[in-house]
Chain A
C-alpha cells in the first residue's frame, strides 16, 4: 500500500512562515514527481507546486511564486513546502500528491495524503 502523510500545519499570523512535510512509504519515492495541492475551506482544488522526481524541474502557481519553496529529500522519502510571507488567503488544507509521471511529463495524481491544515489569522 502506498502512503503519503503530511505534517506541519497549524495556526500562524500573516507574514509568518511555516514548513510542511510529506512522508512517503510503500513505493519508490525517487521515481515520481510530487505535487502540493490546496483546498480552502468549502472550496475546490488549487494546484500549488510541483517537483520532478530528481528535483530539477520545479513549478509554482502564480499565487505562491516567490513565497513558497518546494523541496524533496529522496534519501528520506520526503517532500517539503516552505511557506513564507503567509497571507490569510493561504488558509487551506494542503495535500501532497504523487504524480504518475516523473515531472518532465506531468500526468494525473494517483495518490494523495489526507492533508494538513494551515490557518493564517491574526
Chain B
C-alpha cells in the first residue's frame, strides 16, 4: 500500500499570501496524483489531477507540481474561500486508493 504523507498538518496564513502544501508518496506514483479541497460541511471537490492539470472551473491561482514521490499544491494569492482542508490522492498503485491525511489551511 502506498502511504501518502501531507505537510504541514495545519497552515495558518493571511488572505493575499501564497500557500504551499506538500504531499509525499512512499513510492513513486509518477504523475498519478490528484488534489482535493474540502470545506466544512461539504463534499471534497477535485482541484488538480495528473499532478498539475487544473480541473474544470478551478481558478488559475491553484497550481500543482511534482512527480514521483514529491508533490506541491500552490495557491498563489489566498482568498477567503480558499481556507479549507486539502487532500492528495494517488491513483497508480491500487487497490487501495490512498489519500493523504490532509492539510488544514486556516486564517491567521
Contact = CB atoms under 8 A, between A and B. Distances in A.
B94 A106 contact: yes
Nearest to B48: A108
Interface in B43-91: 43-46, 49, 55, 87, 89, 91
Contact of B96 (A62, A107, A109): A62
A114 interface: yes
Nearest to A101: B91
A47 B99 contact: yes
B98 A113 contact: no
Contact of B99 (A44, A59, A62, A107): A44
Q: How large is the interface on A (under 10, 10 to 19, 20 to 34, 35 or more residues)?
A: 20 to 34
B34 interface: yes
Contacts of A35: 97
Nearest to B38: A45
Contacts of B45: 112
A47 B97 contact: yes
Interface of B: 32, 34, 36, 38, 42-46, 49, 55, 87, 89, 91, 94-102
Given A45-B44, A61-B95, 17 more contacts: A44-B87, A44-B99, A44-B100, A45-B99, A45-B102, A46-B99, A47-B95, A47-B96, A47-B98, A50-B97, A95-B44, A100-B49, A107-B91, A108-B34, A108-B46, A108-B91, A109-B34
Interface of A: 35, 44-47, 50, 59-62, 95, 100, 106-110, 112-115
